[in-house]
Amino acid sequence: MTANLRTTLKLLAPHVRPYLGILGLVLALGALGASAQRGIFLLLTPTWEVLFPADPVALGSLGAAGQAQELVGGGGLGAMRDGLMRAVLGAEVVPADPDARLAMLFRVGALIAAISVLAAVVHYFFLYLARWAALRMVVSLRVSLARHLMGLSLRYHGERKFGDLLSRISADVSTTLNIVNNTLTELVQEPLLAVASLAFAFLIAPEATLLVAVGLPILAWSIGLLARKVRKGSVRSHTTLGASVQALSQMFQGVRTVKAFGAEERELERYREMNEGYVRATMRMVRALAFTNAWTILYSHVGLAILLVVVGVFTIKSGLFQHDGDMLTFFMLISGVYSNIKRTARAVTRANEAVGASQRLQEVLDEVPEITEGSAAIAIEPGKALQAGVELRDVSFTYAGSAAPALADINLHIKPGETLALVGHSGSGKSTLMDLVARFIDPTAGSILVGGHDLRELSLDSWCAAYAMVGQDPFLFHTTIAENIEYGRPGAGEAEVAAAARMANIHEFIAELPEGYQTNVADAGTRLSGGQKQRITIARALLKEAPLLLLDEATSALDPLAEAAVQEALERLMANHTVLVIAHRLSTIRNADRIVVLEEGRIVEQGSHADLLARGGVYAGLQETQLQS
């Protein structure tokens, strides 16, 4: 149990630390509020006294109870009561005069009202600050999770299910922060109320209070046992929730495919089944939760009955309570203790839900980023980095978990200003090679040299600034076209954006749209074609003005007109950059200065288009079957 609670504490610690001061204040307010709320009960005794002034004679006969309690004027238990009477009523003896008694009653009423106002104000700030701190912590945890995830490699994201991550960042964080949110308020408030009640009860009747206190550890222990079940259930519940969010996100991401295959019902059925799994897992936890609460109620009520009988017996036999008002106050306080314990138990079980959820978050945070920069990372000018091109020396790469290397003993020098085309069968390692150059992955052997440095020695930012990348599937953010292009160089002006669009052969098209550059690409009615999207991403890359261009040509064919437009844009791009292109089109390849042919992770041929054709090797074979004219 403690090991797991430690997980939660470790997870929360960095986010709690900035708010420790506030939390201390919350704790103090909670204690003050609890004392005020429970202190009101103490005023019952004087009230009782005013309404039913005790008969000192009757009390005197019970005085032989064996308790060393000094009787005072109005009858009663002791010095504490004595003081209380004086403080509240302004006298130790209740006068017989009805008017004087009424005045005393109003005095007590006013005092209760005053304490209530204090309790209410304190409670307001207690809740306000507790929730405020909790919300701040949620946000801080979410942001740091997102930041951590961003730093993880593409491989991690490739394997990871997007929906599951989404569910972790939203649902699991919320559940985890229950421990400081709803639960913090309860976990602080309720035990404090219980302690305040017990303390006040102890002042009135020490023996009886000790009797109550003996029963509490047993209750706490049994709740701890049940809480473990809740925790296990919580992990299962959140895991299945993650799976169902995953199913949902897949379903909508692939909505075209789903509809095209008329698979809506099948998908919905699958989603329904996943939700069934979620219900089953959650209900297991709910059963444990409900059982815990029911057990607490049973224990506390039976406990109250036993206490009533025991206290009653002692009161009858030996005058444990010598005064009805005291006994009333005592039971008011003690019954309060049990409901505080009940709510504390509920908070503890909820906190265990949080522990379950935080385990899943810790898993994410424990994932170590593969691509890191050393403490002495070198920052280098983009132009300088590319001065001598990019050199791969004996580079090999093997994906984790696969036996054969995806790339083996690659020696390749991409010269400055050169356009180098990579070709090869599917699975030959082209994308892997490009990922290495982009430093999405690091070689398992050998090294990549730029500007006289190993790529791993450079700061991530400075290498990133040295290249622009155009991917196979153009990705646009759900915002305006202008912003999508500007992404290449934040802060670029309108004129520069338009110039890049012109170079990318897309300016005319954008200018004709009713809203021009301010058109939102997500708006209905402005669905862009594949070729248009591609040219927007090319404009984005152009705007970045990085010396090295990494280009993964789309395999899907565009219609000849769009194709020509994209081709023209690419040619402009290639003219003044060092380019590494995964080429599928003959036109691109013809424009390349050099063609490198990959086969099963090795370079098998290189040269110009004409040379390679003449050779009649792998390239000539590819030419016939794969490359598009």
Ligand X SMILES: Nc1ncnc2c1ncn2[C@@H]1O[C@H](COP(=O)(O)OP(=O)(O)OP(=O)(O)O)[C@@H](O)[C@H]1O
**What distance in Å separates the CA atoms of residue 215 and residue 482, rounded to the nearest whole number?**
70
Q: Which of 432, 462, 480, 532 binds ligand X (CB under 6 A)?
A: 432
- Pairing mode, strands 594-599 and 602-607: antiparallel
Residue from 428, 480, 505, 578 touching ligand X (CB under 6 A): that is 428
**Separation between Cα atoms, residue 517 and residue 494, nearest integer Å:** 9
The answer to the question of residue 275 lying near ligand X (CB under 6 A) is no
Among 83, 383, 427, 516, binds ligand X (CB under 6 A): 427
Nearest distance from C-beta of residue 488 to ligand X, angstroms: 24
* Distance between CA atoms of residues 80 and 275, nearest Å: 60
Instruction: Select 459 or 472, whichever has its Cβ closest to Mg ion.
Output: 472
In the bound state with ligand X, the residue whose beta carbon lies nearer, of 235 and 441, is: 441
Query: Does the CA dihedral 426-428-432-436 come out positive or negative?
Result: negative
Of 76, 72, 68, 70, nearest to 48 by C-alpha is 76
CB closer to ligand X, 50 vs 406: 406
Could you tell which of ligand X, Mg ion, none binds residue 43, using a CB distance below 5 to 8 A set by kind?
Answer: none
* Residue number with CB closer to ligand X (202 or 619): 619
**Separation of alpha carbons 244 and 248, rounded Å:** 6
Give the Cα separation of 512 and 90 in Å (integer): 88
List C-alpha distances in Å: 199 to 28, 192, 337, 390.
17, 10, 11, 76
d(CA 244, CA 249): 9
Quote the least distance from Cβ 408 to ligand X, whole Å.
Answer: 11
The tokens describing 556, both together, are 């899907």
Min CB(555)–ligand X separation in Å: 7
Specify the DSSP class assigned to residue 103: H
Q: Which residue in the set 229, 238, 430, 533 belongs to the binding site for ligand X (CB under 6 A)?
A: 430
| Beta carbon nearer to Mg ion, 190 or 552 | 552
Q: How far is CA 82 from CA 12, 64, 208, 334, 497, in A?
A: 48, 19, 20, 22, 85
- For residues 390-449, which are near Mg ion according to CB under 5 A? 431
- In angstroms, what is the minimal distance from the CB of 438 to ligand X? 13
Q: How far is the CB of 585 from ligand X (least distance, A)?
A: 13
Which is closer to ligand X, CB of 250 or CB of 428?
A: 428
Q: How far is the CB of 418 from Mg ion (least distance, A)?
A: 21
Q: Residue 195, SS3?
A: helix
User: By CB under 6 A, how many residues form the interface with ligand X?
Assistant: 13
Contact 538, 470 (CB under 8 A): yes
- Taking the complex as a whole, the smallest distance from the CB of residue 361 to Mg ion amounts, in Å, to 33
For residues 570 and 535, the answer to whether their CB atoms sit within 8 Å is no
Of 203 and 406, which CB lies nearer to ligand X in the complex structure?
A: 406
CB of 461 to ligand X, least distance (A): 25
Identify what 402 binds: Mg ion, ligand X, none; CB under 5 to 8 Å per kind: ligand X
Residue with tokens 């402005």: 526
Q: Is the CB of 153 or the CB of 222 nearer to ligand X?
A: 153
Nearest to 420 by CA among 409, 407, 433, 432: 433
Q: Which is nearer to ligand X, 353 or 435 (CB)?
A: 435
Q: How many Cα atoms occupy the beta-carbon half-sphere of 574 within 13 Å?
A: 25
Assess 402 for contact with ligand X (CB under 6 A).
yes
> Containing H/E element for 395?
strand 390-397
- The residue whose Cβ lies closest to Mg ion is 431
The type of residue at 162 is F
Question: Residue 521 in contact with residue 476, Cβ under 8 Å?
Answer: yes
Interface segment toward ligand X; rule CB under 6 A; list 179-187, 354-362, 377-385, 425-433: 425-433
Residue pair 583/422 in contact by the 8 Å Cβ criterion = yes
Q: Rounded distance, CA 215 to CA 222, Å?
A: 11
Is 396 buried (19+), middle (13-18) or exposed (0-12) by CB count in 10 A?
middle
Q: Which of 30, 429, 488, 547 binds ligand X (CB under 6 A)?
A: 429
155 binds, among Mg ion, ligand X, none (CB under 5 to 8 A by kind): ligand X
Q: Least distance in Å: CB of 599 to ligand X? A: 10
- Pick the stretch among 33-41, 175-183, 226-234, 419-427 that binds ligand X (CB under 6 A): 419-427
The nearer residue to ligand X, 393 or 602, going by C-beta atoms, is: 602
Nearest to 512 by CA among 501, 496, 503, 522: 501
Q: Which stretch binds ligand X (CB under 6 A): 102-110, 270-278, 351-359, 399-407?
A: 399-407
- Minimal CA–CA distance to 193: which of 332, 399, 357? 332
Q: Which is nearer to Mg ion, 69 or 431 (CB)?
A: 431
Tell which positions 152-191 bind ligand X, by CB under 6 A. Answer: 155, 158
Least Cβ distance, residue 163 to ligand X (angstroms): 19
Tokens 């789903």 sit on residue:
258
The token pair that represents 107 in the structure block: 């005095």
Burial of 607 (0-12, 13-18, 19+ CB in 10 A): middle
Q: Alpha-carbon dihedral of residues 367, 373, 376, 377, nearest 10 degrees?
A: -170
398 binds ligand X (CB under 6 A): no
Going by C-alpha positions, the residue among 191, 123, 140 that lies closest to residue 351 is 191
Q: Which is nearer to ligand X, 69 or 472 (CB)?
A: 472
Contact letters for ligand X, residues 126-155 (x by CB under 6 A): -----------------------------x
**Shorter beta-carbon distance to ligand X: residue 429 or 443:** 429
We find the least distance from the C-beta atom of residue 390 to ligand X, in angstroms, to be 17
Q: Which does 424 bind (CB under 5 to 8 A by kind): ligand X, Mg ion, none?
A: ligand X
Stretch that binds ligand X, among 19-27, 349-357, 358-366, 430-438 (CB under 6 A): 430-438
Residues that bind ligand X (CB under 6 A): 155, 158, 399, 402, 406, 424, 426-432
Residues that bind Mg ion (CB under 5 A): 431
